[in-house]
Amino acid sequence: MTPYSDRMNERIVVRGVAVAPGVAWGQAVFHESDVDIPILAISEDDVGEELKRLSAALRTTKRHLAALEKNLAQEVGERDARIFAVQGLLLDDPEFRKSMRNRVRRDLVNAEVAVRDEVDEWSRRLRGLSAESERDPGADLRDVGRQVLRVLAGKPRQVPVEGDGIERLIMVAEEFLPSDAANIDRAQLAAIVTVSGGVASHAAILARSLGIPSVTFVEATGLPHHGRRWIVDGNSGQVIVNPTDVEIAEAEARSRDYREFRAALEAETRDFARTKDDVAVELMLNIDVADDLTPESLESLNGVGLYRTEFLYMNRPFFPSEAEQYRHYCDVLRKVGDREVTFRTIDVGGDKPLPYLSVPHEPNPVLGWRGIRLSLEWPDMLYSQLRALLRASAHGRMRVLAPMVTTVEETRRVVAIVREIQSDLKQHDIPFDPDMPVGMMIEIPAAALATGLIARECDFISVGTNDLSQYALAVDRNNSRVADLYQQFHPGLLRLLRDTIGQAGRAEVPLCVCGELAGNPEATLLLLGLGLRSFSMSAYDIPMVKRVVAATDLAYARKVATQAFELVDIADIRAHLRAATLEVAPDLRSLMESDR
């Protein structure tokens, strides 16, 4: 194959993984994030001075992080800006600080080398804990380390850009970290392309919040850049190097239409969701923290279908107390008013390690000790959370959902623990809702096949299609070598989903889909046709799904679903669902032109 360097003027199309939606074009500049540092051997007499330099750099970096959080909160809100508070906690970790000081003393190296080597060591450990995860927990640590090194080197915090004078900049980098997104001149930045980084990374979250189209897992280092024009499609993951003038004009038009139509769609879809034949459909939010909840976000929704409680545990150096959890859950219930919240119990392990929870190394942590498996073996943690949740149930409408359930036996154990805590609360005259529903999350194919059996033991079922798809397809969607195989319209996966919905229906137990598929407007008709009446998704996806729901009747949805199961090829299934969606909602075409 001809090297990219020998094809400087050739039109090249590459595909990565979409991170943040939108389409943009501009001139590409490669950004080198690493900091050049001096490597010095010091004497024992110099150790004291190096430790002073290190301590001063840590204090300065902490102030910089606080300033970044404050400045960014005005632009994207406190929730996403809190990323830098999390980094501050990493910087405050006593073991991390101690290990850097010890390295200076033991190895007789300058502060820069101690920071670099210790960050590398801790990053390797974290990478081992989450080898198959969507989020690289070491990314924030690397970002913190790089910021400390910049302070030690006296480098400016503003990200340097080689292409001064470029009005529309495509930032190409090996890895793009949160401080890059916060420090760069965003009036100049059009899009981001990276070689590595996950869709759930903090940098990706910031890119989405800032509205910067982004694509990752692109082998970009050998592509022609340095002022070459690129088009970045953050919906499909496609990158075009040296596009034609016609393609540039089309990208400009698509970007403009995308922004305008999104704004109009959000303004027009403010009523509760009902089909054309007046059947109510429950639409709810997936959220991580209470900051996501505002009166506007819940104006025409049925509530919160998935509240991920683990984020209360993750951004801190120790377990939250029962009293702290109780106050937090009550605050969430207060914010939603008379709407219902489904609190998922702590889902850590695998891709979400806690810094203060020691878990054994696992060769494949996503298939290991995580979710309810971990909670049932740490009863103190589970009891504390369930007790706080049950006490909070006296103050609003809520449900409790157990993640990563595999067996009927696990379901019975969870329900038994809830009943035990309820009995204790009653004995001590502590108020709670005795009818609070307890549900199980179906994310494992074997559990999906046994939905009817599990449903007999609980009050409701939630289906997490992201993990269910990953396990059923044996595909890590953030692995660029197999990402193309992560196809949520695979006929086998659709049959598994149809069977799961059908089993819950026959058991007369409510079922909600709260994974990525629920927010895909191309899947809305299919899911409605399969009998689904409860969807939970991100706020971004709600207007599009609501538009499809309002434009169809159930007879048409059932017809579309029946026809989908007559098809064999994934491409044909997807084309059929897209055509059917555009048949009822043709105005969504500009948002569905690109692959999701």
- Edge-to-edge strand order for the sheet containing 189-194? 12-15, 238-241, 229-233, 23-31, 169-173, 189-194, 214-216, 17-20
Contact 577, 588 (CB under 8 A): no
Amino acid at 216: T
542 Cβ contact list (under 8 Å, min separation 6): 269, 283, 285, 301, 519
Q: What is the dihedral of CA 174, 175, 180, 186, to 10 degrees?
A: 70
Contact 564, 575 (CB under 8 A): no
Of 16, 464, 465, which Cα lies nearest the Cα of 197? 16
Q: Is 513 exposed, middle or buried (0-12, 13-18, 19+ CB in 10 A)?
A: buried
Question: Which residues, listed in sequence order, are joined to residue 463 by a DSSP beta bridge?
Answer: 442, 513
CA contacts within 13 A on the Cβ side of 479: 11
The Cα–Cα gap between 348 and 47 comes to 40
The Cα–Cα gap between 482 and 487 comes to 10
The Cα–Cα gap between 316 and 352 comes to 13
DSSP state for residue 242 in the 8-state scheme: S
Q: Per the structure block, which two tokens stand in for 235?
A: 């919906």
The Cα–Cα gap between 346 and 368 comes to 16
Q: Is 112 exposed, middle or buried (0-12, 13-18, 19+ CB in 10 A)?
A: buried
386-389 long-range Cβ contacts below 8 angstroms, 24+ apart: 386/345, 386/417, 386/418, 386/421, 387/322, 387/421, 387/425, 388/322, 388/323, 388/325, 388/326, 388/329, 389/325, 389/329, 389/343, 389/345
N-term to C-term CA, the chain: 29
Residue 244, helix vs strand vs coil: coil
Of 417, 427, 342, which Cα lies nearest the Cα of 375? 417
The Cα–Cα gap between 319 and 312 comes to 9
Task: For 435-470, give one letter per residue: b (16+ CB within 10 A) or e.
Answer: ebbbbbbbbbbebbebbbebbebbbbbbbbbbbbbb
Residue 357, helix vs strand vs coil: coil
587 phi and psi angles, rounded to 5 deg: -75, -5
- Which residue is catalytic, options 225, 458, 512, 514? 514
Of 441, 407, 589, which Cα lies nearest the Cα of 513? 441
Block residue for tokens 């494992």? 444
Q: Is 514 a catalytic residue?
A: yes
What is the per-residue DSSP string for 501-522? Answer: HHHHHHTT--EEE-SGGGG-HH
- Which residue is catalytic, options 202, 458, 512, 576? 202
Q: Is 31 a catalytic residue?
A: no
Determine how β-strand 17-20 pairs with β-strand 282-287: unpaired
Active-site annotation, residues = 202, 514
